[in-house]
Structure 1
């Protein structure tokens, strides 16, 4: 599918920038938009100043007055989060595509040209451009290769759900999509996952750095703010969205790894040992409905042992066992590798392993690649009874054929 050319003065891309106290980072951000090789005539900027107090709004208006790029500046009272400015900008956008650019961050020069070309060539509704971190970490596993259509269930694109993607605006308008302003964290994950699930495919541009994700020295970033309850709200919303659009089974389990491991699991890391008994109990209570609704053996099988073990303790309401496991992890101990069973199964002997009355051995089984003490540990290849029977039959057939081909004297 090749996209239709743009109409009249319709820009190819609307770059939507929500800005709150973004100086001096905003300067480089806007410079990177002006430097785009796609050209000023193919872009527009919609900048929403969300009640800044540091001169952000004035700088945006100054930029709009001198830039060759059509720029609209909106100034509003502070909304308390990134969703409001993004929704305001989306409502004003005219481009075939929209890109949500954070005011702290900046583009690679060819970013929009490459992403628009990919979207037009592949006919996809979402295009991911390679992201690298500046003074902060950034996910890497999804940038191994450029692909026109990535499989949501088998690829790692589900682990990059930030809003910094190229979205086809027709999809967003047709579905009435917007950022959930009630969520104070994880609102971008909800928005992006819905576009993944309901759109016409996702492309990945991995051979060029399109986006630089900047860690602010003052750490004044919304992603770093908010109490733990907000994380549970985010996990709950994302899990519900996935369940609403994907029937129970392996594909749902594959997607549920994202809210359980990235959003929920960090609430049950070694830091829990330093928190009060009241906070621990509250976290267990907040997690309980999620575990009851969405925790399945298929999901558990997709996790590393320590991840599965911690979440199993949460699912069973065993805070006591969880604290034992967290103490083991905090001490940076290495679990013993235990080989058992026929067919062979590998286990990592974290606390309470072998106490079948507490947790079954399967909780400790290696089912995905693990790294322990610098060693790579792979799960054994499982062989079904049917495949074993087929192998026996093939071997018997080979023996019989060799016997039939042997000289008659040898068979006498």
Structure 2
């Protein structure tokens, strides 16, 4: 039996009627049917999803294997079952709510084969949902990595992965997580991959918003969000040495997972839940909040997380009320415009004691500040040149004194 190019893994739970469009998009692929296989796992559905999968398998020309199992409680179980059965050179995880562009698999396989990369991202379009965009703005990328591009901002599982990479490192989805499990898998794959490619000139994946509110990403309490952030931060800590590269990756869980827990909606929480969120955040702030991470954030992001790290919910609510009212902070320029601050609440308040550096705008923010003049920087000198210059100046001073 020949090895297919792609194993399409579809995990389905209460997926009707979206499952119909999902499977139609696989059947419509320009990649020939004999170069694909579908592994569909029904995770204990009660809405007819399992029966539809069996009907589809009986009627299509595609090689389809259907597995029906009791509900596992999350998407990780079905995906791991699919991985265990996959035979393709590549695997693609397709959510049963979503669907593919007709040329998606053909284009992504061609990109991986042409450039020898282990992971391929295809452009995503949201249907009644927002979709990540920044990683596609620079056009097609033949070969990149998680440090030199924005691919860290799309850690969903809907990518093409070289199966040899997955099996060589024993990559599987963490079944203890019910949200953020795909971020853990995908980031680990990025870090281990021999290159990542990006297909930006064709919409490969349609991310569909369900009108019944049952989409997996909308389920789960805030405690599970902290669980997923903790797992991702631990992975980054284990796989990337401390320094700028680690800080670059840590921005992602701080901004995408933790920061939303301390947005304006925090103001409406009861005292018990608000306190619990602060308690859940504290060990993560203590372990992973660094100057390098803080420097990469906008002022309002940095300020909120600084207050969380200092356990100052009393000050945080003032900042959140300011943001909720959509107020604009005053710009404070000093040193003839070479130093700037954005005066969000408690700027230079003696009782608050927040360092001025927390209010210093990021590079992106300074671009919009009228009258700001970036500090002049002297060209860098190597250590040897600096030492030689110091010796020369000392000798010149001694000669002048003699």
* TM superposition score normalised by structure 2: 0.91
Aligned length: 380
Q: 1:283 aligns with which of 270, 277, 285?
A: 277
Q: Cα gap change, 1:41/1:378 in structure 2, threshold over 3 Å: closer, same or farther? A: farther
> Shift of residue 383 of structure 1?
4.4
Cα pair 2:226 2:258 within 8 Å, conserved: yes
Trace 1:179-194 onto structure 2 (pairs within 5 A): 179-194=173-188
Cα pair 2:124 2:203 within 8 Å, conserved: yes
1:214 matched to which residue of 2?
208
Across the aligned residues of Structure 1 and Structure 2, the Cα RMSD in angstroms comes to 1.9
The answer to whether 1:117 aligns with 2:124 is no
| Cα distance in 2 between the residues matched to 1:156 and 1:282 | 32
The answer to whether 1:387 aligns with 2:379 is yes
Unaligned residue ranges in structure 1 (runs of 5+):
1-7, 390-412
Cα pair 1:99 1:164 within 8 Å, conserved: yes
1:136 matched to which residue of 2?
129
| Cα distance in 2 between the residues matched to 1:233 and 1:185 | 8
| Cα distance in 1 between the residues matched to 2:9 and 2:47 | 20
1:247 matched to which residue of 2?
241
Unaligned residue ranges in structure 2 (runs of 5+):
382-402
SS at match of 2:124: strand
SS at match of 1:369: helix
Trace 1:328-407 onto structure 2 (pairs within 5 A): 328-341=322-335, 344-355=338-349, 358-370=353-365, 376-377=368-369, 382-383=374-375, 386-387=378-379
SS at match of 2:201: strand
Cα pair 1:369 1:379 within 8 Å, conserved: no
Cα pair 1:370 1:378 within 8 Å, conserved: no
The answer to whether 1:66 aligns with 2:69 is no
| Cα distance in 1 between the residues matched to 2:358 and 2:370 | 16
> Shift of residue 155 of structure 1?
1.3
* TM superposition score normalised by structure 1: 0.89
Q: Cα gap change, 1:365/1:378 in structure 2, threshold over 3 Å: closer, same or farther? A: farther
Q: Cα gap change, 1:388/1:92 in structure 2, threshold over 3 Å: closer, same or farther? A: closer
| Cα distance in 2 between the residues matched to 1:235 and 1:268 | 14
1:170 matched to which residue of 2?
164
Cα pair 1:369 1:378 within 8 Å, conserved: no
